[in-house]
Chains A and B, each alone.
Chain A
Amino acid sequence: MPLSRVEPKGSVVISARDFLIRGLLAGLLAAFAAFAVAYVVGEPPVRAAIALEASGGHSHGAETEAAGEHSDAAEEAPAPGEVEVPRSLQSTVGMLTGMLVAGTVLGGLIGVVSALAMGRFGRLSARSSTLAVTGIGFVTVYAVPFLLYPPNPPAVGSGDTIGIRTALFFVFLAISLIAAMTAVLVGRRAAGRLGGWYASLAAIVGYVVVMLIVMALLPTYNEVPDNFPASVLYDFRRASFLTQFTLWAVLGIVLAEFVGRLSGPTAATAERELADAGA
């Protein structure tokens, strides 16, 4: 492991900081794309679910009352404990804020992890290892939790169980992350003996088996009301998937482009010379 840093003459030295900044920027751009998808594909089922909730009179708690208010609530002064943010803002700048914050910080983290992965993912190029990190991130952080605890639109879910549902969701997310990191580390170690291809397959199989066991053990719940339209539920879950897919896809592609430029032939580094020696 090259730990000493020799400054080479007349070349650009890349640092982890460069990856953080590029990750934050890529995440910001990805968040705008995710917002566009969420607004176009996701808002119709959200609106439909809220309308059903308002007409059904299936009220539970202040949050539900808040969600029940339509965009015409913008004109009304909110009563204490009731809606504070009108729907017209929640579905536009409110949602954009959430996407920008989530996308940017996620991008920063993926950027630094990509710095770690560069040159350490078998013989993958810097661009390819960045795409691999993002792909693993999407599967681990979103796609697998989606399988056990699928996202629900407004009007689905009891206020009494939000605590336990949130806890289960984050516990499962953490297990998925730890299992994926372990699989990558074990796979890298096994690559020397098995070769890259079989080591990767073994790591993937290991992750899948662990997650299937965990999924069988963790409790699940179904709080979808019996009369809730299946099509609205499907449209919402598909929209959620497309939103997250867009976020990660744009993040991965933009970051890979940035990393490719950063690690290109012009960016000769002390690290690279040492990596050559170690390869």
Chain B
Amino acid sequence: MSNTATQAQPAPRAPGAIAVPKLSVRQIVPWLLFAALLALVGLYFVTAEQGATSLIAGNAVHEWVHDSRHLLGFPCH
């Protein structure tokens, strides 16, 4: 009896509709910061290093990623 009652609970939803899971903001924020930091560092080296700014001496990083920087649409030289 109790089983039937529990199964009947999600009835208000449209037939065939599945509830979309939702993650708590508190759980996501640390991962969001980590992913954003990762993206900033990675994209910095592909798009800007040894162009307008330079952390590493020389031109090797710039030249190695040169064509990807151009074709991804970033200012290169």
> Which A residues are closer than 8 A to B by beta carbons?
1-3, 5, 14-17, 19-20, 23, 35, 38, 42-43, 46, 61-64, 66-67, 81, 83-85, 89-91, 94-99, 101-102, 104-106, 108-109, 111-113, 115-116, 118-120, 123-126, 129, 142, 145-146, 149-154, 157, 159, 162-163, 165-167, 169-170, 236, 239-241, 243-244, 247, 263, 265, 267, 269, 271-272, 274-276, 278-279
Contact = CB atoms under 8 A, between A and B. Distances in A.
Contacts of A167: 52
Interface string B42-77: 110111100111000011101111111111111111
Nearest to A121: B20
Given A94-B68, A105-B38, A162-B52, A157 B75 contact: yes
A178 B64 CA distance: 31
Contacts of A16: 23, 27-28, 30-32
A15 B69 contact: no
A43 B60 CA distance: 20
Contacts of A97: 64-65, 68
Given A66-B59, A149-B75, A15 B23 contact: yes
Contacts, number: 223
A119 B77 contact: no
A66 B63 contact: yes
Given A94-B68, A102-B72, 16 more contacts: A2-B24, A14-B21, A20-B31, A42-B70, A66-B63, A85-B60, A89-B64, A98-B66, A109-B39, A119-B21, A129-B20, A150-B73, A152-B75, A162-B51, A272-B20, A274-B22
Contact of B67 (A38, A102, A271): A38
A42 B71 contact: yes
A272 B19 contact: yes
Task: Classify chain B's interface size.
Answer: 35 or more
- Interface of A, helix, strand, loop or mixed by DSSP: helix
Contact of A279 (B19, B30, B58, B71): B19
Given A116-B28, A157-B75, A267 B70 contact: no
Contact of A5 (B21, B27, B47): B27
Question: Considering residues A63, A240, A278, which has the most beta carbons from chain B within 10 angstroms of its beta carbon?
Answer: A63
A110 to B, nearest CB: 9
A90 B52 contact: no
9 contacts: A14-B21, A38-B68, A90-B66, A95-B67, A115-B28, A166-B48, A166-B74, A236-B70, A240-B70
